Amino acid sequence: MDVTSKTYKIIIGIIELFLGVPFIGGIFIVAHAWMPLVILFVLHIVGIIIAGREYKNRTGHILGVIGNALGWIPVL
């Protein structure tokens, strides 16, 4: 089902947009002890699995995993 992977990617993208706002996203992440990054890391891994089963592009989820891994560095 093409709709599942696309919808999942849109939802995660909206969450990433919120966390990507320089001060608001940073304050939210630090206030919740970096748990949003862990949750999004897991959601991107699930997204890779869903996209793989549907033979869809996984590039966005792979970049999300890398971005969340780099998000653990506070100044970055």
Whether the CB-CB separation of 54 and 2 falls below 8 Å is answered with: yes
Q: Is 38 exposed, middle or buried (0-12, 13-18, 19+ CB in 10 A)?
A: middle
Distance in angstroms (rounded) separating the CA atoms of residues 6 and 32? 28
Instruction: Summarize the confidence of residues 9-18 as an average pLDDT.
Output: 90
- Take residue 59 and report the two structure tokens written for it: 């590039």
Chain segment 17-57, per-residue pLDDT in tens: 998 888 898 899 889 999 999 999 999 999 999 888 888 88
How is the chain split into domains, by residue range?
A: 2-70
pLDDT band, very low/low/confident/very high, at 2 (cuts 50, 70, 90): low
Mean pLDDT in residue range 64-74: 86
